[in-house]
Chain A
Amino acid sequence: MSTKSTTLEQFSYDNKIVRNFAIATIIWGIVGMLVGVIIATQLFEPAANITQYGSFGRIRPLHTNAVIFAFVGNAIFAGVYYSLQRLLKARMFSDFLSNFHFWGWQLIIVSAAVTLPLGITTSHEYAELEWPIDIAITLIWVTFGINMFGTIFKRRERHLYVAIWFYIATFITVAVLHLTNSMQLPISAFKSYYVYAGVQDALIQWWYGHNAVAFFLTTPFLGLMYYFLPKMANRPVYSYRLSILHFWALIFIYIWAGPHHLLYSSLPDWAQSLGVVFSIMLIAPSWGGMINGLLTLRGAWDQVRENTLLKFMVVGITCYGMATFEGPMLSLKNINAIAHFTDWIVAHVHVGALGWNGFLTFAMLYWLVPRIFQTTLYSEKLIKTHFWIGTIGIALYAIPMYISGFTQGMMWKQFTAEGTLQYGNFLDTTLQVLPMHMMRAVGGTLYLLGAIIMGYNLFKTMAQGTLLANEPAEAAPLAVEEQPEVGAHWHRWIERKPIQLLVASLIMILVGSLVELIPTFMVKSNVPTIEAVQPYTSLELEGRDIYIREGCVGCHSQLVRPFRSETERYGEFSKSGEFVYDHPFLWGSKRTGPDLHREGGKYPDSWHYHHMREPQSMSPGSIMPAYGVLYEQSLNTAQTQDKLQAMKQLGVPYDEAQIKNAVADLTKQSKEIQARLAEEKIKVGADKEIIALIAYLQRLGTDIAKK
Chain B
Amino acid sequence: MEIMYVMIGLSLLMAIGFLIAFIWSIKTGQQDDLITPSMRILLEEKEYKNNK
Q: Which residues of A contact B (CB under 8 A)?
A: 86-87, 157, 159-162, 165, 168-169, 172-173, 176, 180, 196, 199-200, 203-204, 207, 227, 230-231, 234-237, 240-241, 243-244, 248, 251-252, 255-256, 258, 268, 271, 306-309, 367, 370-371, 376-377, 380, 471, 473, 493, 500, 503, 506-507, 510-511, 513-514, 517-518, 520-521, 524-527
Task: Render B22-39 as a binary contact track against A, CB cut-off 8 A, 1 for contact.
Answer: 110101001101110111
Instruction: List, in ascending order, chain B residues with CB within 8 A of A237's CB.
Output: 38
Shortest beta-carbon distance from B26 to chain A in Å: 11
A370–B51 touching, CB < 8 Å = yes
A234–B42 touching, CB < 8 Å = yes
Roughly how many angstroms separate A248 CA and B2 CA in the complex, as a whole number? 29
For chain B, give the interface size range.
35 or more
B50–A376 touching, CB < 8 Å = yes
Task: List CB contacts (< 8 Å) of B4-52 with chain A.
Answer: 4-7, 9-23, 25, 27, 30-31, 33-35, 37-42, 44-45, 47-48, 50-52
Instruction: List, in ascending order, chain B residues with CB within 8 A of A169's CB.
Output: 18
Shortest beta-carbon distance from A579 to chain B in Å: 13
Q: Identify which of A173, A199, A230, A500 contacts B38 (C-beta below 8 A).
A: A230
List 19 contacting pairs A-B, 8 Å CB cutoff, sorted by A.
A86-B44, A86-B45, A159-B30, A165-B25, A180-B7, A204-B3, A234-B47, A235-B42, A244-B34, A258-B7, A308-B52, A471-B45, A503-B16, A507-B13, A510-B12, A510-B16, A517-B5, A517-B9, A526-B1
Which residue of chain B has the shortest Cβ distance to A485 in the bound complex?
B28
- Assuming the contacts A159-B30, A159-B33, A503-B19, asked whether A196 and B38 have C-beta atoms less than 8 A apart, the reply is no
Shortest beta-carbon distance from A266 to chain B in Å: 10
Q: Which residues of B contact A (CB under 8 A)?
A: 1-7, 9-23, 25, 27, 30-31, 33-35, 37-42, 44-45, 47-48, 50-52
Shortest beta-carbon distance from A373 to chain B in Å: 10
Which residue of chain B has the shortest Cβ distance to A232 in the bound complex?
B51
Shortest beta-carbon distance from A430 to chain B in Å: 35
Which residue of chain B has the shortest Cβ distance to A383 in the bound complex?
B52
- Assuming the contacts A471-B45, A521-B2, asked whether A511 and B13 have C-beta atoms less than 8 A apart, the reply is yes
Roughly how many angstroms separate A520 CA and B1 CA in the complex, as a whole number? 11
Instruction: List, in ascending order, chain A residues with CB within 8 A of B40's CB.
Output: 157, 159
Instruction: List, in ascending order, chain A residues with CB within 8 A of B38's CB.
Output: 230, 236-237, 240, 243
B18–A252 touching, CB < 8 Å = yes
B20–A203 touching, CB < 8 Å = no
Instruction: List, in ascending order, chain B residues with CB within 8 A of A308's CB.
Output: 52
Q: Identify which of A241, A309, A371, A521 contacts B6 (C-beta below 8 A).
A: A521
The list of the 10 closest CB pairs from A to B, nearest first, reads A521-B2, A200-B3, A236-B38, A240-B38, A241-B34, A255-B11, A517-B5, A514-B9, A236-B39, A251-B18
